[in-house]
Every structure is written in structure tokens, then in C-alpha cells.
Structure 1
Amino acid sequence: MPDSQMIDAGSAGDGRTSVQILRDEDLDEKFPNRPRNHSKTLPFHDLFLTLFNPLNDNKKKPTGPLMARRKSGPHGPAGQNPHEVRQNIIERFISRWRKEVGNDIHPAFRLIIPEKDRERAMYGLKEKTIAKLLIKTMRLNKDAEDAFSLLNWKQPGDSSVSRMAGDFAGRCYEAISKRPMLTEAGNMTICEVNDLLDRLSAAQEEDAQEPIFAEFYKRMNAEEMMWLIRIILRQMKVGATEKTFFNIWHPDADSLFNVSSNLRRICWELYDPSLRLEGEERGITLMQCFQPQLAQFQMNSFQKMVERMKPTEDDSVFWIEEKLDGERMQLHMISDDEIPGGKRFGFWSRKAKEYTYLYGNGFEDPKSALTRHLKEAFDEGVENIVLDGEMITWDPEQDAMVPFGTLKTAALAQQQNEFATKSIRPLYKIFDILYLNGQEITNYTLRDRRRALQGAVKGVARRMEIHTYEEAETAVAIEPLLREVVAEASEGLVLKNPRSSYRLNQRNDDWMKVKPEYMTEFGENLDCLIIGGYYGSGHRGGRLSSFLCGLRVNQNQISQGANPMKFYAFFKVGGGFTAADYAELSHRTDGKWRKWDSRHPPTEFIALGGDQLQFERPDEWILPSDSVVVEVKAASVAVTDQFKMGLTLRFPRFKKLRTDRTWETALSISDFITLKGNAEKEGKEKKFKIDDSRRKRQRVPRKKPLTVAGTEALLDVPFGGKVTNVLEGLNFYIMTGSQKPEKRSKAELEHLVKSNGGKIVQNDSRPGTVCIGDQRTVHVASLCKRRNVDVIRSSWLFDNIRQSEADQGRPSLLLPLEPRHMFYTNAESESRIEGAVDEYGDSFARDITVDELKEIFDSMPAKFEHSFSAKDFKSELEEHGNDLKEFPGWIFEGFLLYNDPQIFNGASLTDKNADFRMRQACDTARFAGARLTNNLKEGVTHVLVGEDRSTTRTLRLRTSEFQRLPRLVTVDWIEQSWQEKTLLDEERFAPP
């Protein structure tokens, strides 16, 4: 066979397995006109020598007027801006590939933009696992300096050990360069690297991945290994996005990726730039994942958001939908006579991960978690369809949505038991239709698409439903609905323009999300003590960049003889610090930090979440008496089990150091509870006031009742004597209500105890008192820590009463405690309690229920995989998205900035003679998400002022009557926030 025929799209000629050859035959059938490379792929080191490194160097160069003074360099003439240089670097690489290799650039693109390669599965590797693999590969002693440096890559080392703190790939480079197998670049081709990476992703287990890493180490030098690790972690950050590469490769590449999410298709169908896509090829295709439309970020003024919906005199309506807390999912269905039921399904997430294996490929799929319930969901005339919606988790017993994080578990449980009618399940909520019976309808208005959706989909209750919406014409309608969904623990709202078309992979003003900001009632002032520190990565590497803050335990909560200097972990804060803030904090705590020892944690001073599990444990800790108090503000308070308080702050941000406070005057637990209670009370009063002032309107149906039927009547019934005597002679200290197996309040549980012979006490001072608690409140947590006692769940009460009733009046003995009954178990009781059940958790002393029996069966070793996968759950969380304000490019998102015209001497914002520094600050703010205005009106969040005090006084007077006062700030606020890559507190930059 000629050599040219042996060399496929960068694969043959480098050594292919039989499996790869069979796969290539399938690809030949799917892509009959695929391009063929005439030569082997380029060496792997050419990627970073000619592409990555030049792009990184270009990323660090100045922009704007400073570029005019830059001397001519290797990548562009003098005066050429970085955008042009970047384009030239990529164009040269692509031109060289076409000339020296061929028209198939897919092998290279898989390594250049690895995060867009959907075909290669996740490796299941993070920094710590890679560090362990490298330590084994290089035969390092675990106590060696380099081994410690790899495992603790965020921590700074001695100058002799490491200067790359916070950069894991850089740490790997340092360790490998001291003991390389190769000093010069290796001879591995791009294709060979791809083949080994395919094997690495298929291996998954650490033992199977070790020999593959050893192969890389043997054939690569230190710099090659550094870039390989960045590819594996999908953390390239070379200064060019996938859109830049796509547009240079082919003018239609980005459009095709939006409708297919297929990197191979981009490379194989668009290898000739002179051939353009036809109109039909640019649209959505059945069974091809597309990039969905996204909602624009929230603005500060509801009125401004409504104006962006482009109302007309004849049609000023906009839609308000509840924002669902699930996973964005697209559903494709086509007719297929070869599959049982005649319809074939496909499911893809927003990140183009396919979930058909989970939700089902047809009506008769035995492993389906959803589709086998959809036989009656579509109109008879529907042959094929593409739907856009949200996959959420639904609890049938509560008839309510379950918060995000349990979707995968719920779907796997439904796969394994189709008759589990009472267990949580996936529910598909549809809010758009994009394709129907062979016709793409994205260009139709949302209103017309909704009519088509209602005609095509009938739905199945609590399996697949059309998402509801309310129509409104003014901004007044938004706030009451927002308060209503907040009361039901929902994420927020989405405003939609019914006159808009569907725009793939765009975030525009036709869809805008509204999320609540809770903590304005807190006065923004929370003074908490720093009790721990975490080393940063990236530009914050090598120093403590974020800090664990705690609440002081009150004296009345500390048992006699305990350390009064005790703090409960409450939240982590890392945003809002300037370099000067870090310097002052470091100066005040220099020499006082101590390494956190997981085997001997400082529990007498600091209490972490998870107790022995040590959730959110810091890298370093500090004695409270040696520490400093910081003032922070945050968006809201959230419930969590990650911090000892059971609560934490969402999006906390540093305001300033409180040098006037010490650990003894820092915020305590009782102080915070009082603050929180006052804020909630004020919020309710505000809500009632607003609701009373509104005219009556149609209300959104609640997802769950606000009260439990019969609760009020039960509380009003006085104690009327014993029902059984099973609890006679026992004293009970009831600390919380219960959720399972029955939802009862604390008062109801006390009534239940007295009805069955027990006695209620209000503390645990009497010997033998039975302490009942189901939730980690402050009282429960304090009891667990200060006394050698057991805290028992209320389920033990229900089991005893149920067993007594089953004995039909015969004398009943108390049931022994079982592990499922325990909220907290002291060491002396563990063996006795574990001995009450067999190896599977089946009780020796009582009759178990049907639901318990099912749980026991589910926990037994089975042929199928366990329903919960930590790896999949982690991947699911990663796909849920992040808060963009944590990234420098979005720090001013949602702000509306007013520019004082007097600063420009009457000039407009675009006047070339206007003050350069002010214009540059405005451009920076606009680049990082802010909007600018020359109209000082309601809704403005910040006013940029100059040095003229009379002008500042005038602006303060003009804004004093606004319902929401804007912040008056100088240009320094924008400049330093951008320089520090975090949003700084405005009060520090207020004009005099």
C-alpha cells in the first residue's frame, strides 16, 4: 500500500490499533468527503513553539496608545496591535499545517481547544491525582521536596524549591526539569499524543493511567509535559478563544459549531475556505447538538430591562417565567421504524454532553429514566421535533422541585425501578420548540413558537410539562413575582420578549434573568474574624489569597473549663482585596500563621463543618488573639453543611480591615442570629407593604402548600392523656422538629412524647435524658461538642410507637438504638448501636417498613453500578455554570455609570479632546460589563466625578431624592478594581 494511503487524518502511519481502524471505517461512512492529510502530523512541540508561546507573549503586551511606542518584534511590525498579531500567529500556523500536513486540522484542534472536543471523555484527573502519577513516574520519595511541592502546588515554597506557586503546570515543569528523560524536545507527533490521550481518557483508574503517563514522561521534555498537563486539565488560556480559531479556519466554522457542537465536523466539512455553507446547512439538524440561546445578565433597573424588550405601541407585552434550578437540556425526537415504539430520542446538555443513555433512546428503552413515560406526550401528527428546556428533579411526595445536585441520582434510580412512583424523578420542563416535522422554526417569534409547542406537545404530568409564564406590560409586575418565587426558594425569574426569534449561542436582551439580592437589609456591615487562610493560584499564587472567617462562640454556649477563644467557621472571602490590603494584612499577621494539621486540628479554637471530615479546612490557621477583623458585605445567606454554623454567606466581598476591633469584639453567633432575624422581619414587613399597595392580579400557582393540613388543629389540642406507655419513665429534651419519616414541628414532637408516657424537659442536665435532634442547629451542635452524649433522631420515637401499636396493648420494650436513629454518636456507644443491625442494616429487634426494605436492597452489592457517582456529580456541578462576576472581565456587570458632562467641559463621551484618563476608565468599565449614560436618572448605580467639589455637591443634591441612591466614585475606583482584578469597595473611593 502506498505511504500516502497509509496516512489518514493524522492517525495512520503513526500506528493504529484495530479498534481505531474500525472506527475510521465508521467515520468514512459518516463523512464520505472527509479531507486526507498527505503527510504525518507536525511534532507536538511545534504547537507551543509556534502557537502557544507566541500567543502568550502577545497576551502580555500593552494595548492602545502605548502600542505606538513598541519596537518591531518577531511577530509583527511596530505599531501593530495585539489583535492583528494574534491573527497573524494563528494564520501562519494554519497555513503551515495545510502546506506540510494537509487539509485535516482536526488532530491539532483537539489539542489547541481541548475543551471543545466533545468526543474525548473527561480524564477524571485533577491536579492532586496528576501529582501522584508524576511522583510515581519519577520515582520520587513522598517526603521529597519536589513531591511536597507537587502535592501542595498552591503553597509557596522556599526559593530553592519553587517560584511557581499557584501554577500547577509550572510546578510540574520545575519538578520534571530537574530529572528529565529528555533535555531536548521529543519526537512525538500530534497524532501520537492524541492516541495516548484517548487511551488515558478510557483508562479512568489511576493504576491504568500510570503507564500512560510513564510513556509521556519517557518521550517528552519538561516543557512538553507542562503543555500536555494544561491540555489534560483543559486550562490553556493562551490568549485566543475558540471563536478566533474557528473564524480564521473558515468563515462559517463558528456558525456550524453553534448548530452542531461537533469539532470534527468543523474540521472535515469546512476544510476549504472558498466553499460556503448553504442556508439549510446553517440551521439546526435533528440529532445534532446545538449551542442554545442564553439569558442576558441582570440590570439594576427593572424599567431598563423592560425597555430593552423593544415594546411597540401595539404590543408592549413581555413574558415572565420562573428560573428553574436544574440542567439545561435539549430533546430531539425522530421517527425510526427500527426502534421499538417507532420514535428515537436524543438528549444533550448545554455543554453538549449527551445524556441519551440516562433519559432513554425510545419509548421501549428498558434503561430509560424518562422516555418510557412519554408515549402519550406528543400529538399524533408529530414525526420529528427539537425541544429546549430544563431538566429538574421532582419530589412526588412533596409535589415540589428538589434543589440542583440530585438530578443524576434521581435519573439512575428511575432507570433501575420504573415502578418507583414515590421516589424523586427527573421532570423535563419545556420552554421552547425549535424544529417541527422537518422545518426549523428558530426564525419565528417566540409567541408563534409557543403556539406550535402547545399544538405539538400534550405533556405527561410530572414527567414532561410545558413551562408556564405570565404576561406583563410594565416593570411594576416584576417585583411581586420575584418576591413570590424567592419565598418558595426558587432561583429567580427570566424575562422574555415574545416578539423575538431564537438566536443560537447568543446572550442578548430578548431573554434576561432576574435574581434576588437579599442582604441590603443587613446594612452591609459584618465584622468577622479571620481564622484560616488558603493559598491562591494564577496571579495570586504563592500567598494566602482567600480567608476563612468565623463567628465567635458566646460565653453562655461554652461549657465550664472550655476555651473562651472559640470560633465557628462561617464563610470564605477572597474578593475585594487590593495589593495594599494584602500587604497590611500580611504585616499584621506576619509570623503568626501555622500549618493546618489534619491529624491534630486546633479544635479548641476553630470548629469546621463536618467535624472529623473537616470541610473547607484551610492551608494555614491563626490564633484568634493574633488575628484581625475584616468588614465584609455579601449577597445573601444560604444554608449549607460545609461550615460549622450551618449557614454561610453567598458571594462575600471584603470592604476593609477593622483595626479598631479585636477577637473579643468580633461578630458573635448570637449577634449574627439577631441581625438575621431583624433582616427577615424587615423583609416581611416590606413585602406585606408592597403587596398591599398592589392591585389584585392573577397569582403564579405555588409549587407546594405553605402549611401542612391538620398542623394547626393538632397544636391547638391540649394534652389529653397517654395513648401508649412505651416512653414511660423517660425524660426527653426535644431540640428540633423532624422532616423524616414524618414532618412534625418541635411542639408536635413534644405532644407526641407526652401522649406516649414520656416527660418533656428543657435541657439535658438530668442524667439519662434522651436528646432528640434532626437538624444541625446551634444548640444541637453545641451539645455534640461539649458533652459525651448521644443525639437521637425523632425516627426512634416513631419506630417505638409504631412497634407498640403493632403489639396491640401487650407490654412493649424500648427498641435498641440503630445507626439510622443517630444524629450524633459518642465513641462509647458506637459498638453497641452497630450491633443492633446486621451487615446490611436490617434491624434485629423491630419490624421494618417496605420503604426501609427497599433501601436495604438498594444498598446490597448488585450487578449494576451504584446509583450515585461522585465523578458524575462533580461533572454535573461543573456544567451548572459559575457566577461571572468572579472573573475580572465581568466585575462591572450590571452597573449603570453616569458620566458628569462638566468633567468633559461640555464634550460628549466620544469627543477626542475629552480627558484621556476618564475616557480610558469608561472604556474599561464598559469592557468589563458596565453600561454608560449621560442622563442622570433613576436606575443609575454609580456616578463618576472629578476633583471639582462644587460639581460633586450638585450631583449629591440631584441624586438625594432617588429611591435608590447611586454611589459617587472617582476614576481611581475603576482603575484600581481593574488592576486588582476584583471589585473594590466604593466607599474607599468616594469624592471628598
Structure 2
Amino acid sequence: MDSDEIVPDNPQNVGEDLDEKYPNRPHNRAPTFAFHELYLNLFNPLSEIKKKPAGSNLARRKAGPHGKGAAGLSPFELRRDIIIRFIARWRKDVGDDIYPAFRLILPDKDRDRAMYGMKEKVIGKMLVKIMKINKESEDGQTLLNWKLPSQTTGRMAGDFAGRCYEVLVKRPLRTEPGSLTIEEVNEKLDKLSIASKEEEQTPILAEFYKKMNPEELTWLIRIILRQMKVGATERTLFHAWHPDAESLYNISSSLRRVCWELHDPNIRLEGDDRGIALMQCFQPQLAQFQMHSFDKMVARMQPTEEDQVFWIEEKMDGERIQLHMAPDDSVPGGRKFAFWSRKAKDYTYLYGNGLHDENGALTRHLKDAFANGVRSVILDGEMVTWDPEQDALVPFGTLKTAAIAEQRNPFSKGPRPLYRVFDILHLNGAELTKYTLRDRRNALQKALQPVHRRFEILPYEEATTAAEVETCLRKVVAEASEGLVLKNPRSPYRLNERHDDWMKVKPDYMTEFGESLDLIVVGGYYGQGRRGGFLASFLCALRVDDNESSQNTDSSKFWSFCKVGGGFTAADYQEVRHITDGKWNKWDPKKPPTHLIELAGGDSQNERPDMWIKPSDSIVLCVKAASVTQSDSFRMGMTVRFPRFKTLRKDKNWKTALSVQEFLNLKSNAEQEQQEKQFDVDNSRKKRLKRATKKPLKIAGYDGESNVQYSGPSGHVFDNLNFFVMTESTFPEKKSKAELEQLVKANGGRIYQTNTAALDTICVAERRTVKVASLQKVGDTNIIRPSWLIDCVKQNVKDVGLPDLILPFEPRHMFFIMEDRAEEININADCFGDSYARDTSVEELKEILQQMGTVKQEAAPVLDASTSQRIEARIQEKVNSGYTAPCGWLFRGLSFFFSPVNQTNGEDDGMISLDLTLELLQNTASFAGANIATSLEAPGITHAIVNSETASPAKLDSLRKSVAALPGRKVPHLVTSKWVEESWKNGTLLDEERK
């Protein structure tokens, strides 16, 4: 993400840069809509459909005044209709650039605008300050403690924007919609994202408050928080804009590209435009959620009886990161890097943009991380934190801290980033997403050279049964890992999809302690969204026993141990509320109940709850968990991973709930039992060896063993030429883009992926894709059809004598012609389209003959004398240098006389005619450049030709005498028709005495 796109110090220059980067960028012909048009005609109607069932009167009314929301339409159809009508109105009244609106409609997909650094708490404080509200008042508390139920209605609990509306509507500066346009709102939001301090952000929010009514400001707050929830997904919006919008977003993560490159629904993405590209963030494949049964999961991984193997990988507790590496032409042998998270956040500043980036926490260690011949890659993996002293992984929350420490001291012994790669999606210009996981892993193993504890390939195990999954899961649980991912080795890579080919298995179903944990509830946390307005998760604690106070809650203490929020049903929550109703107390940070409940962190009060309850009034929850881990967030000094509610223990109270010592005993027993179980497994189960891949992946240009499908002959016809191939070829031969590039390389050409990478780049395309349309719009370069490449190579293969002289462009070769080049190109073929410089195929000749009756010669360009002489001189120069002559040049300079059947002395006896063989041969000789004489006395005859099959000895003798008797002239050679035939067949003049 370019900084000049986010911080427009000079808007004029930025506009010019964007126009250069996006030459096909649309421009609106009218100002953008007012901001209130968005919520009145889009957000509100969509939200109403979300609330009301399809077919209701309100849904029909909100769907529009033209009857398009008639009863019977599904909610999806109603939503799509609203969106399509909004887009159509924008195109009609504003123009084709919908990017300003989409930035506000899909704020979470707009990575061109930096994060605001403003959450609910900060916005609440700003609004209290802007509206001059007393913090201790009801409205002040409504904004500052937005999760707590309202003291009046409570209907907006958990919905921060809704709570803001409750307060704003009481003290609006305007009641009617404001006049701010969508473009003006975007400009102010850009300033808000740049502002780094609260005192800089508050005036901007205050300006919004002055110019917007409460409903507008409520929607603006949702945009800032990137929590729209209008009931329409980005997929629905993308499909309504352009059929390929979702595909382009998946490969680029750029809302701007979706809006600007796909502004015309009639121009579709094709070929390489649908694939991932270097230095372009894509949306990665995601793992499907865990099913209830391991057997069902395994069955999905085994589509055939012949191949039942699936792979098991450890699910790393880190951050999903994609790494891009490309050549850096500014430095000899240099490489440039880019890193993006799953949410398309750019982390290049943290991990490094090159091998010598002094601020790079990772790249400076990757000098020897790639095999010889690897020029460019895209990797998918997990960035984790590794502690060299403990030789173990560190919890996820320390990753950024470790990276910053590594930037400052790259050779410290403290925790550092470790990138574990599990997939490769691009290698040396070839996209690998369509290959199977097996093939991709094979390419990965060949391409990378791991750097110990900095850059490694994530290992996997092969398995065939559900039992093996559970064994692996118990192993990673013991190592405090996050879980497993099961993968189908026969699967392709699916951008931005959750599919059964990848399934994650988290150990939240397991109870490694032999029995569940019965924990006392001491605190509660209010939920958001659907759980807003009531306590949705609970702080559980362990009782600290001592001899004097174990039976007295007034002196007993409880140490915070874990938070439990998963596993509850609506009925469970209702039962908890029924039992504890009226017993909860608001947690006061200034006067915490430390005589009963101890939190971690001292005065910082880690994991401080919103409400607390006396243990004697509380309930006991039966909780299951995966494992025990160290934690500074809880007073116990440890906690459990993946705790989930199992049941309510009505038969227990604070006296019989789990104590600290009882928990430690359980932990010790569980560890001993697990060691014994692991010992048995390790001795009974043989280690499975990885199966060799039958068909290793072959990547063009990777190394000496790499290859691709044969694309054509090799030579030097394209030496020193630069090419930008944009599409595949369908005529005269079907070749993919990769095959065309290979054909160019094999014949001496250089391939680039942009027309600006090198001077005089020849652009090649056969269909109008987004890239092609962009070049056409600029209009400063010709676009050549792939048929020209194929014609050049074919002419070279035929040994026509011009192996390093490329063919001139002809009209049939041109996909797009610059205005000032049209005349120059048109003269390279005659009025019928017949080339002056290359051989014509049978099919092309038939087409020319069919069109001859419809082409007007006078309207066709004529090859001027100077051009003709220039072409002839170049060809003759090559022939004189020893190259074989073109077939149309074979008999050039020779004059043939074909002897008639019954004429030997040149006299006309009324029966002059050639037999069929000589008549056809005369046409061939004429095509090959020979001058055809009508009589033996014609001047300049070089060869007299007779039919070798029908000429009798007497006829030959008579013709020989007639030739010798010609006065004052060089005697022509007497040859048979076989000499002409064989010379034409071999493309060269043969020895006349042999024929």
C-alpha cells in the first residue's frame, strides 16, 4: 500500500500517480450523492429486510415503489434488488466510479485507508467531550459503559452505535439530514485515519457532529468501527457491481481495483487476470470448522478407495502471513519482499522489504533461504514467536513485541519471529493454485532451504484413520499447541474459501484431566450483538484453602483462574440469570472486593469483570478444557486452554467447588497419566514414512530438472526483443499464455509482466481483458495478436533464409493499431490481405480467394517502390550471405521456357500446348519468381525445360540443336521437369547435371 495513496500531501500529484497506475480508471461526470442517500436508500432498507421476514408489508415497501419487492421474493432477492437499483442510479446520475461509495458501504474491505485506532471506549469519551456531557450522568455512563444495560430501557445494550443514537437524539445540532457528500465524508475520514492522537481526532469528529443529524452520525460511527451489519454480505454487493468483482478482490484484496478496473460489466476477467500475482495481496484459503465426528471428517478426506491418505499438520498459534518475493532490479542479485496478514494488513515494515533492510526482523536472515534458480515466490504460512533459550514457541500475543526487538538487535537471544511455511502458490512466474497440494509441497521442498528457527517448512504426517487424528491431537495438546489441520493432498488451493479439503481440529472437546473441572463463578462480562444486554461470559476462580477460614466465605479468598463463554445455550443463560438474579454487584475499580476475589496484575486488575458476585451467592459451572498453560492474566498464574461450559452443577456450592490444591493434584495426576499413555503409543505405533510423490511438479525456469510442455521450436528470431504477453492464443494454434511466453523465450525474446518494464516492449493479446482495455485507452502502443509470434517462428523453422529477420506487422496480426502506424502496417500486405513477406498457408489462401470478389483494389494501400526495393534488398543481402532463399525467391532472376508437346524449334504449327505436368510446373516456377518465356527466341532465357517422363530422345536431340542454333546469345541450360520439381521441393537450386 503506497503511502501517497493514504496521505495525499499533494492531491494533484496523487491524482496523476493514480491515473498512471490505473490508466483505465473511470471518472465521474457529476458530484457524488449526499451521504444521507446511503443510509436512506441503502443501509436502512437493507436493515429493515434483515429484521422483517420476506413478503411482509414493510419489506415490500422498503424494496421500492415500483413493485419489485412483491410478496414471494426471498430476503436475498429483496436485498439484491435494493443494491442493484442503488448502483444503477449511481451510474446514471454520478458516473462509473463507485469507489467513493463502496469505501463507506464496505469499510472493512478498504485497505487503502489506514485503521483509525478508535474503538468504542475512545469514541465514547470523545462524544462525551464534544457534547459536554457529565461523565457521571446517565448519558455519560451510557456511552462510557456501553456494554452494561441502559438504566432506562436497556434495549441497545451491546450495540455501541445504537447506544450513541440514544444519546445523540436527545441533543442534536441538526434534525434534518446534512449536506455532506460522500466524497467530503471520505476526505474527512482520511484525515481521521491519519490523526494519531485523541486531541487531533476529536475536532474532526466534532465537525461531523455539527454537520450530521443523529442517524447520519450513527451510521458514520458504524463505518469507523467497520461494523456495518446491514444484512448484505460483500459477496452480494460485489456480484451486483460486476460478475468478476469477487474474483478480483480475492486475488488482490483491493476494493479500489474492484471498482476501477471492473467499472464496465461487459469487460470480463480472463486468463491471468483471474490468478494471484506477485506483490499483490490475495485472500487466502481458510480451513473448514470442526465437525462433531472424526470419522465424518476423515471420510471427507478420502474421496477414493485407491488413495485414502490425508495429511495432518499442526495448527500454529500465530498470525497467518503471506510472503511475496520478487527480483529487485535496482540491486544486482537483489530481492524485494512483502508481507500481508489474512486481513490484508501490510507487515512489510516489520519483517523487512529486502535482504539488507536494517529494520527487517526476518528478511535479513533469508539470504540463503531459497534454492539456486528461485527468482520469485509467493508463500503461505504462519508467523509465530520462538524463544531460543527455552527452545519453544511463545504465545501469540508476544509476536509483534518480539519482531520489534529483533529489528533493534537481530542477533539477540530473546524471542524472535519464526515463519513456518505450509504452502507455495507462485514460483518463477508460474501460478500454482491449480496444482494439487502434493505437487505444491513437492515444489516447496525443492524451492526452499530452511533457516533454523527463523524460516522453516511446517512438517506434516500422513494418516488414513480417525484414531491417528486423536493421537496427534493429544500430542499437540500436551505441547500447548492450538490444534490440528487436516488436509486433502489431492486438492487445489481455493482463494477465500472454507472447504472440506482443509479442516481444523481444535481440542476444545477434550478433557485431559480425567474429569471435568467444577469452578465457582465470581464475575461476569456483558456481551455484544446478540448477547448484548446480559452477562455472556463468566470469570471462574479456585478457592484458596487454609485451616482457619476454609468454612467461612468472609475470610476465604478465591483466585481468578479462567474465563468461560463458550458452550452455553439460550436455556443455560436463562437458568443462570434466574438463579443469580439480584445478586450481582457492579465492579468498582477503585474499591475492588479484594477480601474475596483476587485478580492478577495488582492495581491493573487483569481480566477485570463488569460485575461480581459473592461466592456464597454464586453457582458452580462444570467446565471441560484441553490443557493447562501458564498465564499472567489470572491470579492463579496459570489457566486452561479452550475452556467450555458443560453443565450447571446445582449439587455443588463454593465449599465443594474446586480448590487450588485439588486442581494442582488433578494436574499432576493428568500429566502422569498422559506420559504413560504417550509412552505406550510411542512404542506400539510405527512411524509412518512419507510416500513418494509419483508425479513431481515441474516449473518452468526453476532449475535444470524443470520443464514445461513443448510449446514450439527454438531459434533466434526474437533476439533482443521485449514482450508483454497478456492473453492466450486461439488462432491459428491454441496456446496458453505460459506456452506463448515459453515460445518467445526459446527464440531469444525476453518476457516482462508489464509494458513499462523495458523499452520498445511488444504487447501481445487476442482478447479484450482489463489490462488490454487499459492499454487501448491510453493508445500509445500497438497490440499484436499471438498469430504474429507463431508466423515468425514458422517462417524461421522452414529455413526460409531469414532466421533472424522478423516479419513485418500485417493488418491480420494487429489487435489494436495506433493511428499514426496504420498506414505503415497496411502496406505489408496487398489489397486482398496476402503477405508480401511470408508464406501463405492453404487455409489462408482459400480465405483470400473467397474475399477477392468483395475487395476493391483501388481502396487498398499500394506497396510503394521504395518500400518494395527496401524489402528486396534486405532479402537479397541475406541470400548473398549464404542463407537459403525464400520459396518465393527460389527462381528469382531466371527465365524459363517450357517446351510444348509438339514444338521443338519454336515454330507454331497450330498445335502448341503444354501437357498437364508442365502447365502445373509453370505455375510453380512463376510463383517462385521465375520469368516465363512464351518462345525459345525470347531474350534472356536461362533454362529450357522438357517433361522428363514424356520427352523422347529424338525430341531432346531436336531441342538441343535448336538451342545451340540461337544466334548471338548465351545458350540456355536444357533441363527436365524433374529438376524444377526437386529444386522446389528442397527449397534450393539443385545441380542441373543430376536432373
| TM-score normalised by length of structure 1 | 0.65
Change (3 A) 1:512 1:536: closer
Check the 8 A contact 1:334/1:385 in 2, yes or no: yes
Match of 2:477 in 1: 486
| Deviation (angstroms), 1:236 | 0.8
User: Separation in 2 of the partners of 1:657 and 1:488?
Assistant: 30
Check the 8 A contact 1:445/1:500 in 2, yes or no: yes
| Deviation (angstroms), 1:605 | 1.2
Question: In the alignment, which of 169, 177, 185 is matched to residue 193 of structure 1?
Answer: 185
Change (3 A) 1:546 1:474: closer
Question: In the alignment, which of 532, 555, 561 is matched to residue 546 of structure 2?
Answer: 555
Task: Name the stretch that deviates more: 214-223 or 499-508.
Answer: 499-508
Matched, 1:464 2:451: no
User: Separation in 1 of the partners of 2:397 and 2:578?
Assistant: 41
Question: In the alignment, which of 151, 154, 164 is matched to residue 158 of structure 1?
Answer: 151
Check the 8 A contact 2:52/2:59 in 1, yes or no: no
User: Separation in 1 of the partners of 2:552 and 2:543?
Assistant: 17
User: Separation in 2 of the partners of 1:599 and 1:286?
Assistant: 54
Matched, 1:498 2:498: no
Match of 1:431 in 2: 422
Match of 1:928 in 2: none
The structure having more radius of gyration, on CA atoms, is 2
Match of 2:102 in 1: 109
User: Separation in 2 of the partners of 1:618 and 1:335?
Assistant: 52
* Per-residue deviation, residues 526-558 of structure 1 (Å, max 9, x unmatched): 433332222333233333333323222213386
- SS of structure 2 residue aligned to 1:128: helix
Note the 1:710-789 alignment, pairs <5 A: none
Check the 8 A contact 1:639/1:647 in 2, yes or no: yes
Change (3 A) 1:560 1:239: closer
User: Separation in 2 of the partners of 1:249 and 1:410?
Assistant: 43
Check the 8 A contact 1:69/1:79 in 2, yes or no: no
| Deviation (angstroms), 1:692 | 4.2
- SS of structure 2 residue aligned to 1:325: coil
- SS of structure 1 residue aligned to 2:183: helix
User: Separation in 2 of the partners of 1:665 and 1:17?
Assistant: 64
- SS of structure 2 residue aligned to 1:391: strand
| Deviation (angstroms), 1:262 | 0.5
* Per-residue deviation, residues 366-418 of structure 1 (Å, max 9, x unmatched): 22222222222223322222222222222333333333222222222222223
Task: Name the stretch that deviates more: 655-664 or 406-415.
Answer: 655-664
Question: In the alignment, which of 389, 394, 411 is matched to residue 381 of structure 2?
Answer: 389
- SS of structure 2 residue aligned to 1:271: coil
* Per-residue deviation, residues 162-218 of structure 1 (Å, max 9, x unmatched): 642221111111111111111111111111111111111100210100110111011
Check the 8 A contact 1:153/1:171 in 2, yes or no: yes
Note the 1:676-691 alignment, pairs <5 A: 676-691=667-682
Check the 8 A contact 1:570/1:645 in 2, yes or no: yes
Change (3 A) 1:343 1:566: closer
Match of 1:244 in 2: 236
- SS of structure 1 residue aligned to 2:547: helix
* Per-residue deviation, residues 717-741 of structure 1 (Å, max 9, x unmatched): xxxxxxxxxxxxxxxxxxxxxxxxx
Change (3 A) 1:339 1:19: farther
Note the 1:593-604 alignment, pairs <5 A: 593-604=584-595
- SS of structure 2 residue aligned to 1:552: strand
Note the 1:237-386 alignment, pairs <5 A: 237-310=229-302, 312=304, 314-339=306-331, 341-386=333-378
- SS of structure 2 residue aligned to 1:465: strand
- SS of structure 2 residue aligned to 1:427: strand
Check the 8 A contact 1:341/1:363 in 2, yes or no: no
Change (3 A) 1:603 1:124: same
Aligned amino acid, residue 458 of structure 1: Q
Match of 2:736 in 1: none
| Deviation (angstroms), 1:143 | 2.5
Question: In the alignment, which of 383, 397, 407 is matched to residue 405 of structure 1?
Answer: 397
Check the 8 A contact 2:510/2:626 in 1, yes or no: yes
* Per-residue deviation, residues 238-272 of structure 1 (Å, max 9, x unmatched): 11111111111111011111110010000000011
Question: In the alignment, which of 79, 82, 91 is matched to residue 98 of structure 1?
Answer: 91
User: Separation in 2 of the partners of 1:549 and 1:131?
Assistant: 29
Match of 1:123 in 2: 116
Check the 8 A contact 1:524/1:634 in 2, yes or no: no
Question: In the alignment, which of 564, 581, 593 is matched to residue 573 of structure 1?
Answer: 564
Task: Name the stretch that deviates more: 191-200 or 538-547.
Answer: 538-547
Check the 8 A contact 2:365/2:454 in 1, yes or no: yes
User: Separation in 2 of the partners of 1:559 and 1:310?
Assistant: 56
| Deviation (angstroms), 1:45 | 1.0
RMSD: 2.9
User: Separation in 2 of the partners of 1:174 and 1:428?
Assistant: 47
| Deviation (angstroms), 1:589 | 3.5
Check the 8 A contact 1:155/1:165 in 2, yes or no: yes
User: Separation in 2 of the partners of 1:193 and 1:86?
Assistant: 25
| Deviation (angstroms), 1:561 | 11
Question: In the alignment, which of 153, 161, 170 is matched to residue 169 of structure 1?
Answer: 161
Aligned amino acid, residue 95 of structure 1: A
Q: How high is the sequence identity, in percent, across the aligned residues?
A: 65
Check the 8 A contact 1:518/1:636 in 2, yes or no: no
Match of 1:647 in 2: 638
Aligned amino acid, residue 490 of structure 1: S
Match of 1:133 in 2: 126
- SS of structure 2 residue aligned to 1:193: helix
Task: Name the stretch that deviates more: 240-249 or 560-569.
Answer: 560-569
Aligned amino acid, residue 506 of structure 1: E
Change (3 A) 1:380 1:650: closer
| Deviation (angstroms), 1:653 | 4.0
Match of 1:181 in 2: 173
Change (3 A) 1:669 1:363: closer
| Deviation (angstroms), 1:79 | 1.8
| Deviation (angstroms), 1:119 | 1.1
Change (3 A) 1:118 1:74: closer
User: Separation in 1 of the partners of 2:608 and 2:520?
Assistant: 16
Match of 2:533 in 1: 542
Change (3 A) 1:471 1:562: closer
Change (3 A) 1:659 1:348: closer
Aligned amino acid, residue 286 of structure 2: L
| Deviation (angstroms), 1:587 | 4.3
Task: Name the stretch that deviates more: 673-682 or 444-453.
Answer: 673-682
Match of 1:234 in 2: 226
| Deviation (angstroms), 1:443 | 1.3
Aligned amino acid, residue 643 of structure 1: F
Question: In the alignment, which of 42, 46, 66 is matched to residue 55 of structure 1?
Answer: 46
Unaligned runs of 5+ in 1: 1-10, 701-992
Change (3 A) 1:302 1:534: closer
Question: In the alignment, which of 668, 684, 709 is matched to residue 659 of structure 2?
Answer: 668
User: Separation in 2 of the partners of 1:457 and 1:38?
Assistant: 51
User: Separation in 2 of the partners of 1:690 and 1:423?
Assistant: 35
Check the 8 A contact 2:477/2:626 in 1, yes or no: no
Check the 8 A contact 1:518/1:635 in 2, yes or no: yes
Check the 8 A contact 1:333/1:346 in 2, yes or no: yes
Change (3 A) 1:362 1:695: closer
Check the 8 A contact 2:124/2:144 in 1, yes or no: yes
Match of 2:446 in 1: 455
| Deviation (angstroms), 1:655 | 4.6
Task: Name the stretch that deviates more: 481-490 or 384-393.
Answer: 481-490
